[in-house]
Amino acid sequence: MKSVIVSLLLLFNFVYGANKIMTYEGKNLREGNGNGIEIHENYVKAGFRLKRLEALNEEYLKTITVSNNEIYVGTGLSGKIYVFRNNKFNLFADSIDANVNIIKKIGNDLYAGTSPEGILFIQTGNNKKRVKTGEFSINDIVKSGNNILLATSSNGKILSFNGKTTKLFHQFDATSVNRLILVKKKLYAFCSDPASVYLLDDHGGILHSYQFKENEIADVSVRNGTIFVAVNSKNDMGNTKGIIYKLNSDFSSCMKIIETANFINSIVLFDKYILFSAGNRGVLYATNIAFYSSYPIKIRETDDLIFTKIIRANNRIFAISSHQGALYEIEPASYGYYVTKPIYFASPVKIFDIEVVGMTHPQMYYRGGNISVGDSINAPWSRYQVGTLAKESPILFLQLKVNLSADSRIYGFRIDYEKRSCPPVIDSIVLSPPGILYTDGFFRGYNKRAKRSKITRLKNVGFSIKNSAKDIENSRRSLIIYAKSEDNGSLFYSIRLKSLHLNKTYNVVKGDSNHFFILNTDRYPDGTYRLFISVRSENQQAVHGQTTPFLIDNTPPAITNYRFSKHNLHISLSDTTGIYDIKYCTNGSEWKPVYLKSYQIYKKKTNITIPIKKKPDFIIIKLTDIFGNTGYFTIKER
C-alpha cells in the first residue's frame, strides 16, 4: 500500500504546489482525451477521428470481415454472426457455438471458425453446413490452392479442408496456431506458446522459422512483403507487456517498433502509422511505422472496455469492441478537439488567466465548480475569454476543452490563480484492491462494472494493474479515505456506507483521525455501495460528499464444469466480478500458471484448457479474482 500512496502524491503534485502559476503539460496531456486528435509525448495535434456506427449490446464482439460493402461480425459467448448493411445490424447466423473466432468470405461462401467445439461453419446462399474438426478452436481460415486451411488450437495443428472432410496439413510444437497469412503467395503460420512464425511449402513442410521471446501472437499485418507482428507475454509475477515487431519476409531482420505495459489486442497499418489497441481501457493508439518509439500516440479513449479487432478494408478502417459490442470507423481528421483531465485544487482558487501553450488565439471552453465530490464534473461548458473566470466564485476543480485545426498544436496550459482559505478537502479514496475512487466520484479500478451501476475504468493514477495485483492473494480488502486541511490539524470523520441492493445503511465511523481512515470491506455483504462522507476540521469548517457506486466482492471464483480429453483438461469458470489469475498443480507438484488470452482476463465467465501429457491422480486448481478472493478446487477424472 505504501507504493500506492507515494504514486498518488506524485500524481497530484502539480495541483498542490504553492506557486500561483500551474503548468499542465507532458504526462498530464496524455491523461486527457478528445476526438480527431493525436496525443503525443509532449503535444497534441489533429490526427484520427473515431466514429461509432452502431452498437449491438452484445457483451463481446470477437471478429470482423468486410465483403462487397457488407460487414460481418462474430460474437464471443453467444456464438452469433451479424451483418451490417444499410447502416444497421441484422442477425445472419445464430447459436453456431459459444465463440465465433474468425469469419472469412471466400468467393460466394462465408466461413466461420468457432470454439470450444472447433466447428467450421459454411454458408453458401441459404445452405448451411457445420463440420466438426475435433479441435478445441479454429482461429484463422485461408484459401491456399484448392484447399481451405484452418489454424487451430490447442494442439498446434493446421488442418486442410477439401469441401467435405479435414485432414492434417502440419502440426507444430506449439499450443496454438493463431494466424495464417499469404505473403506474395507464400504461406506463413503464426503460433503461440511459444510465439513463433513459420514459412511453409505447398505440402506443409517448414522452409524457414523464427521464434520470439514472448508467449502469444496477438495479431499480424503485412505491407509490401514486410510483416508486422504483435506479441504478448505475462510472467509468473503477473507482469504483462505487448510488443510490435517489424519482420522481413525472409526472417533476415527483426526490429522492435514499440513496447507497451499492456496486452496488445489488434493492429492494422495505415499510411505511416501502425494503429493498435492495447489493454482493457477502450483506448486506441498509434506509432510510426519506420522507427522505434517508447511512447505510443494516444488517439481516443472510449467508454467501452476492449477494441478486440481492427481491420482495413476498401481503404477504410473498422474496429469492434467488447462489453457494448459496438462497430466503429477510424478515419484521418484535419480538425478535432482536446479535453483535459479534470484538474483538482487542494482548496478553492480564483482563476485569473489561462494560456494555451502553442496557440495564439485558441477556441477554448471551460467548466469548473466548488464541489469536491459527486456529480460536479457534469457542469456545462462555457466559452473562455480572458478575465472570464476572474469574475466567478472560487473553484475546486477546472476542466478545459480546446478545438484544433490541421496546423495547430497544444504543448500545455499555464493557469494563473490565487489560493483562497478553505475547509478540509477529501483528497481521494483508495480501494485496495482494486482501484482508486477520486474526488470526482469516479472509480478507477480494474475493468468491471457494478450491477445496475456504471463504473469507469482504470486511468493513469500512478500505479498499474501489474503492481497492485502482484501479491493480490495477500492483499487485505480495504477502503482508505484521505483528506487534508489547511493547518494539517486533526479531522473529524462521519462516514456512512449505503447498500444499493439491500437498501441498508451502515454507520461506519464517527471520530477523530489525522488525515485518513481505513474501512475494511470484507465485513460487509457482496453488492454495490455508495459512500457518504463528511469531514470537519478543528475550526468547524466542513466538506461533504458522496461517491458514485462501487463494488464490494468477497466471494471467490468457482468451477462450473470440467471434462478431460485425450491430452487436455477443459474447465469452465465463473466469478461475481472477474477472474484475474489461475494456477494449477498435478499430483502435488509445483504451481504452474495458466496464461489467459487478453480477452479472457477479468471475464465473469471463461473457459480454459490445461495441457496434460499423462493423466494425473488429481489436479488442484487455484483461482483468484480481481478483488483478491481465492478458491482452491481438486479435480479427479470421473
| CA-based nearest residue to 149, from 160, 138, 157, 162 | 160
Instruction: Look at residue 494 in the predicted model and tell me its pLDDT.
Output: 75
User: Strand, coil or helix: what is 226?
Assistant: strand
Q: For 38-77, what is each residue's pLDDT tens digit? A: 999 999 999 999 999 999 878 889 999 999 889 999 998 8
The DSSP secondary-structure symbol of 477 reads P
- Whether the Cβ atoms of residue 231 and residue 245 lie closer than 8 Å to each other: yes
Q: Tell me, what amino acid is at 125?
A: G
Is the model more confident about 486 or about 12? 486
Look at residue 43 and tell me if it is in a domain: no
C-alpha cell at 422: 478553505
21 - beta bridge partners?
Answer: 416
Is the model more confident about 594 or about 483? 594
- Per-residue confidence at 547, pLDDT binned at 50, 70, 90? low
Instruction: Look at residue 540 in the predicted model and tell me its pLDDT.
Output: 60
Shared domain for 61 and 82, answered yes or no, is yes
Instruction: Look at residue 466 in the predicted model and tell me its pLDDT.
Output: 28
All residues at 6 or more sequence positions from 505 whose CB lies less than 8 Å from its CB, including other chains: 496, 497, 498, 499
Shared domain for 381 and 489, answered yes or no, is no
Look at residue 41 and tell me if it is in a domain: no
Q: For 176-203, what is each residue's pLDDT tens digit? A: 999 999 998 899 999 998 899 999 999 9
Shared domain for 390 and 489, answered yes or no, is no
Least confident of 101-115, 145-159, 450-464: 450-464
Instruction: State the Cα torsion 38-40-42-46 to the nearest 10°.
Output: -20
All residues at 6 or more sequence positions from 370 whose CB lies less than 8 Å from its CB, including other chains: 348, 393, 394, 395, 396
What counts of helices (H) and strands (E) characterise the chain? Answer: 3, 56
Rounded mean pLDDT, 118-130: 91
Task: Report whether pLDDT(507) > 70.
Answer: yes
C-alpha cell at 211: 521464434
Please give the C-alpha separations between residue 575 and each of 97, 173, 557, 628, in angstroms, as whole numbers: 22, 33, 4, 12
**268 vs 281: CA distance, rounded Å:** 19
| Beta carbons within 10 angstroms of residue 230's beta carbon | 28
CATH of the domain at 489: 2.60.40
Instruction: Look at residue 520 in the predicted model and tell me its pLDDT.
Output: 67
pTM metric for this prediction: 0.64
| CA-based nearest residue to 120, from 72, 70, 163 | 163
Please give the C-alpha separations between residue 590 and each of 79, 99, 593, in angstroms, as whole numbers: 36, 32, 10
Shared domain for 101 and 66, answered yes or no, is yes
Instruction: Look at residue 591 in the predicted model and tell me its pLDDT.
Output: 86
**348 vs 354: CA distance, rounded Å:** 17
Look at residue 183 and tell me if it is in a domain: yes
Shared domain for 471 and 527, answered yes or no, is yes
**140 vs 191: CA distance, rounded Å:** 11
Shared domain for 289 and 233, answered yes or no, is yes
Q: Among the three residues 483, 518, 552, which one is the final residue of a domain in this structure?
A: 552
Look at residue 90 and tell me if it is in a domain: yes
**421 vs 171: CA distance, rounded Å:** 72
Look at residue 42 and tell me if it is in a domain: no
Q: Among the three residues 385, 419, 453, which one is the final residue of a domain in this structure?
A: 419
Rounded mean pLDDT, 11-25: 53
Q: Among the three residues 534, 552, 570, which one is the final residue of a domain in this structure?
A: 552
What's the total number of domains in the chain? Answer: 4
**203 vs 75: CA distance, rounded Å:** 33
Least confident of 193-207, 330-344, 423-437, 587-601: 423-437
Look at residue 226 and tell me if it is in a domain: yes
Task: Report whether pLDDT(423) > 60.
Answer: no
Shared domain for 229 and 130, answered yes or no, is yes
Is the model more confident about 60 or about 236? 60
- Whether the Cβ atoms of residue 520 and residue 477 lie closer than 8 Å to each other: yes
Half-sphere exposure of 81 (CA within 13 A, CB side): 24
267 - beta bridge partners?
Answer: 276
Instruction: Look at residue 139 in the predicted model and tell me its pLDDT.
Output: 95
- Whether the Cβ atoms of residue 214 and residue 196 lie closer than 8 Å to each other: no
Look at residue 39 and tell me if it is in a domain: no
Shared domain for 397 and 461, answered yes or no, is no
Look at residue 6 and tell me if it is in a domain: yes
Residues of the chain with pLDDT > 90, as a percent, come to 39
Instruction: Look at residue 66 in the predicted model and tell me its pLDDT.
Output: 94
Range of the domain at 506: 425-552
Shared domain for 216 and 297, answered yes or no, is yes
CATH of the domain at 580: 2.60.40.10
**115 vs 443: CA distance, rounded Å:** 34
Q: For 313-347, what is each residue's pLDDT tens digit? A: 988 999 999 888 899 999 999 999 999 988 887 66
C-alpha cell at 243: 510488443
Least confident of 221-230, 289-298, 518-527: 518-527
Instruction: Look at residue 598 in the predicted model and tell me its pLDDT.
Output: 58
User: Strand, coil or helix: what is 125?
Assistant: coil
Shared domain for 498 and 582, answered yes or no, is no
| Beta carbons within 10 angstroms of residue 145's beta carbon | 10
- Per-residue confidence at 530, pLDDT binned at 50, 70, 90? confident
Shared domain for 381 and 455, answered yes or no, is no
Shared domain for 57 and 197, answered yes or no, is yes
Task: Report whether pLDDT(542) > 80.
Answer: no
Task: Report whether pLDDT(257) > 90.
Answer: yes
Q: Which residue has the cell 477520486?
A: 438
CATH of the domain at 153: 2.130.10.10
Please give the C-alpha separations between residue 494 and each of 238, 373, 405, 544, in angstroms, as whole numbers: 38, 15, 49, 9
- Whether the Cβ atoms of residue 502 and residue 525 lie closer than 8 Å to each other: yes
**224 vs 505: CA distance, rounded Å:** 64
* DSSP-derived secondary structure for 149-171: EEEEESS-EEEEE-SS-EEEEEE
Instruction: Look at residue 137 in the predicted model and tell me its pLDDT.
Output: 93
Residues of the chain with pLDDT > 70, as a percent, come to 77
Is the model more confident about 482 or about 491? 491
